[in-house]
Amino acid sequence: MAAGSGERMDSKVPKQFLEINNQPILAYTFKKFKKVKNLNIHIVLPHDGFDNWKKYISKYVDKETILVRGGSHRNISVRNGVDSITTNKGLIGIHDAVRPFLSINLIRELFLEAEKNGNAVPYTKSTNSIRRIDGERNFAVERSEYVQIQTPQIFDAKTLKKSLERIDNNNYNDEASLIEELGVKINLVEGEENNIKITTEKDLKYFD
């Protein structure tokens, strides 16, 4: 997924296209997935300026990569990306383009888990104390009962497409929550601490 506008980054350029050492962040992410065999890669680009972004990113990806126009909201972009996959067989993985630091081993592990059990979602344990906010009050919660979710999230293609057909608004956290609404158990796989989502300018230090 590379269709976001990156509003929280203090830049006129969407963060997935920010260049680090003469390459956009998206290119770093693409290279990780390209090293995994038997993957067909579809990249969803911003709706606004799609033709320009398509021309730009084509310099960093191969001809086999499918470039898809995104939508005005994330759920539309996800649906456009999934709709560009014509088969209902196999697995579909959804990944944030601005998570370039994941390992190839994690990608492989997630696909293997999804192949066995229908889906796989990476997580990390929280190392900080957590409080729940309820209006003007807040309450301590048990940290061990909560985890932080990452991408890529891998799903059975048919199940994912079925879940996307059900949505009629933008109010869902991620694709795993949609799958869960179908009564499907989500299989968690331990992720990686360095698989961060680049959100602000401070996160760019991880390229050093």
- 140-179 tens-digit pLDDT: 999 999 999 999 999 999 999 999 987 766 667 789 999 9
Query: For residue 84, what pLDDT band results from cuts at 50, 70 and 90?
Result: very high
Domains identified in the chain and CATH numbers: 15-207 (3.90.550.10)
Position 206 scores a pLDDT of: 83
The pLDDT tens digits for 103-129 are: 999 999 999 999 999 999 999 998 889
Of residues 8 and 199, more confidence is placed in: 199
In the predicted structure, residue 54 carries a pLDDT above the cut 70: yes
Position 202 scores a pLDDT of: 87
b/e burial code for range 47-80 (CB count within 10 A of at least 16 → b): beebeebeeebeeebeeebebbbbbeebbbbbbb
- Single-letter amino acid code for the residue at 76: I
- SS3 label, residue 87: coil
What are the φ/ψ torsions at residue 39 (nearest 5 degrees)? -110, 130
Task: Look at phi and psi of residue 78 and say left if phi exceeds 0, alpha if psi is from -120 to 50, else beta.
Answer: alpha
The CA distance from 189 to 160, in Å, is 18
Position 9 scores a pLDDT of: 58
The pLDDT tens digits for 15-46 are: 999 999 999 999 999 999 999 999 999 999 99
